[in-house]
A and B are shown apart, each in its own frame.
Chain A
């Protein structure tokens, strides 16, 4: 049972354009959401997060939007740069229990120069 889903395995955009990565979740107990970026042969690195009390969080070129009613979040990268090419994982933790992160399957972003 996948509680965090990233339905697009890959995305290709042109440099300077917007990249939009999507994530859906099913567990209504999730209250904290994160995006991680992963380069080949490296561990995932934290990118940006959002609490369920907010619907938007912005950090430079990266913005995360949360739609609780739709159980959907998205990561916007504007403008996209070739160095953003990586696999992006959506992750969530629940307000009860162990609070370890549950990850989606990832979206590979390719930014074309």
Chain B
């Protein structure tokens, strides 16, 4: 069974530029999550999708971050414009339902200079 796929693995941009990350969850998983992990901290939820609907985006900085999950499968997370404090690893995860174990991708490491 293929795992959660994410790209790109690494991205370096300058502040005020934009960046987009892509995630393809495990086949059949209805729930998709984007987490932000800043160095030395645990992952923090940014947004949760159930199929193609948003379940929770309360911690998403909506002035600069946006996410979509068209057709209820893959998802993109965009940051525009980026700030220095956005430097982090962006982790995508999926689960079959809304409870239980989450399966994580390898993450996309963003460095904002």
Contacts and interface: CB of A to CB of B under 8 A. Distances in A.
A89 interface: yes
A74 interface: no
B43 A103 contact: yes
Contacts, number: 55
A104 B99 contact: no
Interface of B: 4, 33, 35, 40-45, 48, 55-56, 91, 93, 98-107
Interface of A: 4, 6, 32, 34, 36, 41-46, 49, 89, 91, 93, 97-106
Given A43-B105, A43-B107, A32 B45 contact: no
14 contacts: A36-B104, A43-B93, A43-B104, A43-B106, A46-B101, A49-B100, A89-B42, A98-B55, A99-B99, A101-B43, A101-B102, A103-B35, A103-B44, A104-B42
Instruction: Enumerate the 7 nearest inter-chain pairs by beta-carbon distance, A residue then B residue, closest first.
Output: A43-B104, A103-B42, A98-B56, A105-B42, A46-B101, A103-B43, A99-B98
Nearest to A2: B42
